Amino acid sequence: MDLVLRATLCHIISGDRLVLKLATRGISKGKWNGPGGKLDPGETPKQCAIREVFEETGLEMRDPFFHGRLRFHMGGSKKLAVLGYLFSTRKFSGKLRSTEEGKVMWFKTNGLPYEKMWDDDKVWMPMMLDGRKFDAHFYYGKGNKKVKRCIIKLRNG
């Protein structure tokens, strides 16, 4: 069986704003993205999201809402490369701070820097902001710049 990277992505939302991080390393280097990262051995996706948000933003979140799974097929391949667990929360405390992982900032939800984000974000971000549950597959072309195909399935409950 091929090894698939399992990771979390969690958006901290306050009113009409959300936190994004300008990644300084990894596959997202130079892109604005939500806080998140790889699951540690024995860690649940929820535990990972809480840990990563604190490590990358200084915010302690509570009651993360699970929206669904984002599956990424990279580089023009049909093979699954990344299985992402998408969360959001409006319940948090602490003071926002940047780290060596990247600069963090609040952005208005109607003014997100999509041109400096992953191409798939503009597809699922509005559904996440509406509090919807869904699972999605994103197939990137060679170079991982553009989504060539996506499949989104809404979830109940």
Specify the pLDDT at position 156.
Answer: 82
Q: What is the CATH number of the domain that holds 52?
A: 3.90.79.10
Specify the pLDDT at position 134.
Answer: 98
The dihedral formed by the CA atoms of 10, 75, 30 and 108, expressed in degrees to the nearest 10: -40
Specify the pLDDT at position 2.
Answer: 53
Distance CA 90, CA 80 (A): 31
Q: Which of 61, 52, 65, 66 is nearest to 21 (CA)?
A: 52
Domain count, the chain: 1
In contact, 71 and 9? CB cutoff 8 Å: no
pLDDT digits (tens, 9 = 90+) for 55-106: 999 999 999 999 999 999 999 999 999 999 999 999 999 999 999 989 999 9
Average pLDDT score over the chain: 94
What's the pTM value of the predicted model, to 2 decimals?
Answer: 0.94
Average pLDDT over residues 23-33: 91
CA distances 45 to 16, 29, 103, 127, Å, are: 26, 22, 23, 20
- Full residue range of the structural domain in which residue 27 is found: 5-154
- When pLDDT is cut at 50, 70 and 90, the band that residue 1 belongs to is very low
- When pLDDT is cut at 50, 70 and 90, the band that residue 26 belongs to is confident
